Structure formats: structure tokens, C-alpha cells
Chains A and B, each alone.
Chain A
Amino acid sequence: MKRTSKTYSFIVAITLFVSVAVQTAFGQVPDPGAPGPLAVTREEYDFGDTAFTPGDFPGPVELRASIHHPTDLSGGPFPVIVFLHGRHATCFKGGGSALLQWPCTANNSQPIPSYQGYDYVAEVLASHGYVVVSISANGINAVDNLVFDLGAEARAELIQKHLDTLKTFNTTGGAPFGTKFVGKFDLTRVGTMGHSRGGEGVVRHQGLNIQLGSPYGIKAVFPLAPVDFNRFVVNNAALNVLLPYCDGDVSDLQGVHFYDDARYNVPGDQSPKHYELVMGANHNFYNTVWSPSSPFPGSANDWLAFVPGGKTDPQCGKGKGNQRLTEAQQRGTGLAYMTAFFRAYVGGETQFLPILTGDAPPPASAQTNNLFVSYHAPDNPALRLDVNRLLNNTNLTVNKVGGAVTQTALTPYELCGGDDPQALRCLPDQPDARQPHTTPSIRSSLRGLSQLNTGWNNLTGNYKNEIPSTLANVSGFQALQFRVAVNFADARNLAGLAQNFCVVLTDNSGSTASIRVSDVSSALFFPPGSVGPVPKVVLNTVRIPLSAFGGVNLHNIRSVDFTFNEQAQGGVLVTDISFASAPL
């Protein structure tokens, strides 16, 4: 345990070093989570506990929400961000007991205000000129297990109902605000964030809004520690999934499917996709009402409460040297990446894009550097050239650009996790919770992420993707990138020790440039933890600036090699090799 802890500290130190280097390269990116210049007012509207019933849903739902907005509305209309909490107890009684009913009819019981749990993000966004509406959904939580999709459709309908309500406020006005908000909401620029089951709710909502003729402009969707029971997909809107490594509730991090499923789903999809793997973060701390410091019953540190034996885990538990984040630190990561995402893709504040692509380190508001950012560029030939998607067995010999793919001294050299005939799981003897990219979904039979499962037994291992001469000019892209994870179940990787290999570009004159992955990324860390759902393999993006490949002609590249000559042996999972740039 001690060695693991030391090693992990080393990895964090390396991350800090790389972050500083990258930050220098990109200049000073402002902190999107720092409070803005505008004074903020918080108000609520409440049309009652039974004001809305989603279609085919077995119970009534409240129409209640908070609105954070700039106190001075004269600068409007403002872009609108909608928050939706997830599944939690709905009511409480004195003495500390939580209940699951709606409305709260038990003697002296009151609603648990889960929708207030993200005020810390709403305040900052509003101070930068956004209207943030956080919806209460206790009525859905009370009975959503009675419906087949576990409430996704009802949540989507509830969001749409609130957007309709905002439209009324914005056009004719209405109680309780009168005409105060008329003309103040820009409903052509809307972002949505949903936590937990709310995460699947905002994904489903994006589709519902399209089905209804796109009455609102959903520009960006942020599932936070989401479930993905039904495998809905977001395309044509920016996507960002936040994955807490120590999630004790959605412990299989199934929400990574939202990113994996969306990548190549719609040709020409101009929307970027992101996720952050936040080490030491759990499920509940992102909502202040669900956190142990909350006065409301039902709050918990989900890792400690829900994972059998979890408190002994060296990463997520309570042992010396653990990497658990405090409530404040964890909310810092949520604040930083939610604000960066919505300000970039809803507000058009493009200065924050380097944070979302991983080109810039986490901002100060994140309160930790111990996280990994993944990025998938829009399907635009100016922004992304897929070298190898690694989707099917053909890609083991021919890549997406039509070049030959060859390997030397790699074993295994096979795809796993994707469609038949690939193996269902890449780590066949490990629990699903330890391999999120292939974890099954309760309400879908879709399979998971196709990955190259490979490894090497000596320093001669090599994986080569050739680039046809017609596509050899990659000078217009910012970076060469791929996703990778160390396979902790491969005994060739030593527990607690990071892996390493080199990425080599060769041009058509034979010049080469080699970059060690460890010089630009800490993504080759050995996944930490030893209890229940950890360790787990989550592939993280390694993004190497093309400017780092000195001495090769980027206008005339012949091949991309992964050369496994840094460690005597090892095993990794790889996918999504591309040349890519940040969104425009």
C-alpha cells in the first residue's frame, strides 16, 4: 500500500510538471470558475407539488426551481443553463429519517431540496452573465423505479416543461415574476447539466427537444456522474461527462458510454465531446444537499457507505495516503469543468477550450490536478483526421485512412469490448465495475467500446499505422492524440508503477521524431485501488502537440508508430488514434 501511495504521489508530481509546461505553452488560461463581476440574485418559482405529470408516468411531479440571474437584467437576454439533480430521498422528518414519497404526506415531513445542491455553480455562472435554473424532481424520484426506463423520459419531459415555463416568463411574463424576465432569456442558447439519473435525463432531453422540432437551442449537455441505463446518445450538441473515480453509487462509471457511443455515431457531427476522470471523487459530494455536511437526512459519502469494505481502499477509502477529495475539493472540480464547458459552448467564451481539451491544466478553482481530460474533436476534416478508430478486425491491418497497420512482437494483438465477434469484456476475469467502457446497461443490449488489447514482452514491440501520401500533410492539426489505459489485469504491468512508451512520427524522407508519453501525459498510470470497483480501466486521452515532433516534415508524414521500448514489458488498451485540433 505504501509503495502504491508513493508511486501515486510521483504520478501527481509528474502531472503537475507537465501541467506547468503545457500551461506555459498555452499562456495563462483564465479560471472559468472564478466569481465574475456581476451581482447575482437568487429566486424561486413554485407551481405546486402536483403541477405536472409526465406522460405515462405513475405519479405527479412538482414544478419548482431556483433561478440564479444577474441582478441587473439590463444586459440580457442571457444564455440559460438548466440543472437537474438525480435520484435521492424525497422527504424527511425530524429525527433524521428520510422517506421516498411524493408529495410529502407523512406527519411533519418536508421535501429534501436536492435542487439547491448546485447553487455553488449557479452563483458563479450567473455572475458571468448566465441565467441558471435548477429544477426540483422529487416527484420523479419517488416512483421512477416503477417505469421501464427508470425515469429518463419523465426527466426529459420535466426539463422541457420548465423550458416552456421559462419561455412564458420570457415572452408574456407570468407569476410569480410578472414581466421582470420578458426578453431576458436567450432560449436559443441553452446548456443542461444532470447529475446521476439526472445525467441520463439531460441526454434524453436533448433527443426529446429535437423530436419536438428543436424549440430550444440545446448547445451543450453535461452528464455528471451519470447512469446510462438506456444508451441514449447525444449528437450535434457539445458533450461533457464527468466521471468520479471513487463513485460508490454508479460505481461502474457507465456514463462513459455517452462519450464512447457518440464518437462516430453521426457522420459530420460538428460537436466536440469530452470527459474528465476525477481521481478521489465520489458520487454525492457534487451536490451539497447529498453531502455529509448537509443538515438533511439521506446524505452520505457514497464510497464509504455503499462499497463493502470500501473504507480500507488505499485510493478511495480512509487509509493513510488515500486520494479522496474533500467536499470542497470535489465541488471545485465540478465548478471548474461545468463553468468551462458552459461558458465555452453556450456562451462562446472560447478562451476556456484548452481546459476542456486537456491542453491547459485544471484551473485553480478545480482545487486538484489529479484528474484526466479526454477529448474527441468534431467530425470536420479541418479539425480531425482519424488514423485508426480500432472498431473492427479490419482495423488491425488497415486503418481509417487506408494505410497499412502492422505490429512487431506484440501479444496479444486483438480487439475487445466492441461488437461481435470481439470478446464482450477486455478483462475477462474482472468485474464489470472495473471496466466501465464495457459495463452492461440495464435497459440496453448494446455492447461497449472497441479497444486494442495489446502488450509486449521485450523492448522490440512496435505498432505502426501508415499514412497514405494523399493525407500526409497533418501540419494543420494541433496534436496527435489517442486514448489509452494501463491494463491492471495484465501481469506484465507492475502494480503501482506507471507504464511508458514512445510515439514516433516518420516523414517520407525517413526523418523521425519520438516523444515519450510520460513527457506529455500521466495517462499511463497504474489504476489505483484494491477494493470492489477499483482498480478500473478508464481510457484517457494522450494529446501530443505536433510542435513537439521536431525534425520531421509535418507536411509529409508517412507513419505513426507506438514503440514499446521504455519498459521491458507491459500491456495497454488503446483506441481513437487521430490528428486533432480544438474546436473552432
Chain B
Amino acid sequence: MKRSLANRSVAIAMVLLSALLASNSAALAQRNNNAANKELPMGELMKLPGKLLSEAKTAKQSGELKLTGYRVEELQLPRNINAEVRGQQVVINRAWRVTITGGPFPVRAMPAAIWIDDQIVGYGIENETLSQITAITLDNSLLREGGVIALSYGENKDARVQLPQRIQWKREGENQ
């Protein structure tokens, strides 16, 4: 009864898996049976201070969703957790938070998905004023220099709205 992954690229499947893992504590608990993981709910990850890795802003709005910029941050988790990343059980102590700015974003039934190139980083969470959508991933291999960031609702790849700015890592010594 399980959906075969054969017709999807392994890469996409792994990305989705990591997206599931990153979605909340319940997901982590499902995968790991590790009670300690329940102490890292998604809401907490959203609030953790992050180290800014890349950021871009523009006054010019992109597409119907009026995207204006993005931010990629590295999060130091309060402690190590067990997780499955790209099919491997690993112990991790970092996560990555990708935020797209613009909007105001509609509040829809279908969740927003944040993409880098052709891979979903995670399903997004709106902020209260609907000016930001944020996803969290445990897999930093998705985040690559020059990657194109985009937003869709559901997995509708054809309806993605792309940001004009590509990911460019801040160099050591740049202002954060």
C-alpha cells in the first residue's frame, strides 16, 4: 500500500523526508522514539536565535506573491538529537531556517513550500503579520551557493514564484 518512490527522484524523496522530520516534534518522535526529541517543537525552532548565513532584500516585488527577499540562518540546537537525514540515522546539533519575505501572504488550506532549485526545503509557517514564511530543514546539503529560492503552495512545482536573488553566502567578516 505504500507509495513507491521509484518514480520520484531519490533526491526529492530525501528532501521530503527531511521536511517531515523538520516539521515538528511529533514527526521527530515518530521517526526516533526518542522522548527527548519532543522537547524541540517547531515553535521553539522558529524562535531560536540564528546565525545569519545569507540574506537579500529588494524593494522590487517578485510575482503574484510579492516576494521581496530571503534569509538563511543556522540554528544551534539546545542539545543533540537523533534524526534521519537522507536516509541515514544521525545525531545532529544544528538546523537551518529559511525565511522568505514579501506578501502579505494568503492564509490557505495548502501549506506553503519553500524550494531551493528543484527541491523542497520544507513546508512554511507564516508569521503573524503574514509578511514572512519560514521553513526549517535538518539537511544543509539542500542549501547551496547560487541556489534559486522559490515559494509554492503544496507541491505545485509549476506554480512556484522565484526570488530573483540567488543564495550567496556571507563571507567571514561580513556584517551580520
Contact = CB atoms under 8 A, between A and B. Distances in A.
Interface of A: 56, 58, 86-90, 97-101, 106, 141, 143, 145-150, 196-197, 227, 249-252, 283, 298, 300, 302, 305-308, 419-420, 423-425, 431-433, 440, 442-447, 532-533
A88 B107 contact: yes
A446 B3 contact: yes
B123 A442 contact: yes
Contacts of A98: 104, 107, 130
Contacts of A283: 109
Contact of A145 (B3, B7, B124, B156): B124
A147 to B, nearest CB: 5
Nearest to A443: B20
Nearest to B134: A145
A143 to B, nearest CB: 7
Contacts of B109: 86-87, 196-197, 227, 249-250, 283
A152 to B, nearest CB: 12
Contacts of B129: 97, 99-100
Nearest to A448: B3
Interface in B117-176: 123-130, 153-159
B1 interface: yes
A88 B3 CA distance: 30
Contacts of A442: 111, 123, 154-155
A445 B159 contact: no
A308 B64 contact: yes
B40 interface: no
Contacts of A150: 111
Interface stretch (B21-29, B50-58, B91-99): B21-29
Given A148-B23, A424-B7, 4 more contacts: A147-B23, A147-B42, A443-B20, A447-B4
18 contacts: A88-B107, A89-B107, A145-B124, A145-B125, A146-B42, A147-B24, A148-B27, A150-B111, A251-B110, A251-B156, A252-B154, A308-B64, A420-B2, A424-B3, A424-B7, A442-B154, A442-B155, A532-B159
Contact of B107 (A141, A227, A433): A141
A475 to B, nearest CB: 37
A440 B159 contact: no
B159 A249 contact: no
A447 B3 contact: yes
A446 B107 contact: no
A521 B1 CA distance: 33
Nearest to B107: A89
Contacts of B154: 251-252, 442
A533 B41 CA distance: 34
A88 B126 CA distance: 12
A88 B108 CA distance: 6
Contact of B106 (A58, A251, A305): A305
B43 A58 contact: yes
Nearest to B129: A99
B30 interface: yes
A100 B4 contact: no
A440 B158 contact: no
Contacts of A88: 107
Given A141-B107, A431-B158, A146 B125 contact: yes
Contacts of A196: 109
Contacts of B25: 56
Nearest to A153: B26
Contact of B158 (A90, A145, A419, A532): A532
B26 A149 contact: yes
A139 to B, nearest CB: 13
A141 to B, nearest CB: 7
- The residue among A86, A141, A283, A442 with the most chain B CB atoms within 10 A of its own CB is A442
Which 8 A/B pairs are nearest by Cβ-Cβ distance?
A101-B128, A445-B3, A148-B26, A196-B109, A146-B42, A148-B27, A89-B107, A424-B7
Contact of B126 (A100, A308, A444): A100
B130 A100 contact: yes
Given A145-B125, A146-B42, A420 B4 contact: yes
A197 B111 CA distance: 11
A87 to B, nearest CB: 5
Contacts of A251: 110, 154, 156
Given A145-B125, A148-B27, A447-B4, A87 B108 contact: yes
Interface string B72-98: 000000000000000000000000000
A87 B130 CA distance: 14
B38 to A, nearest CB: 9
Contacts of A444: 3
Nearest to B26: A148
B110 A227 contact: yes
B123 A145 contact: yes
Given A87-B109, A249-B110, A298-B107, A308 B24 contact: no
Contacts of B3: 424, 440, 444-447
Contacts of A306: 106, 108, 153
Contacts of A423: 7
Most buried by B among A99, A148, A283, A444: A148
Contacts of B43: 58, 143, 146
Nearest to A305: B106
Contact of A99 (B2, B128, B157): B128
Nearest to A90: B107
A135 B156 CA distance: 31
A367 B170 CA distance: 59
A535 to B, nearest CB: 14
A419 B2 CA distance: 7
Interface string B14-47: 0000001001111100100000000001110010
A90 B130 CA distance: 11
B42 A89 contact: no
A423 B6 CA distance: 10
Contacts of A298: 106-107
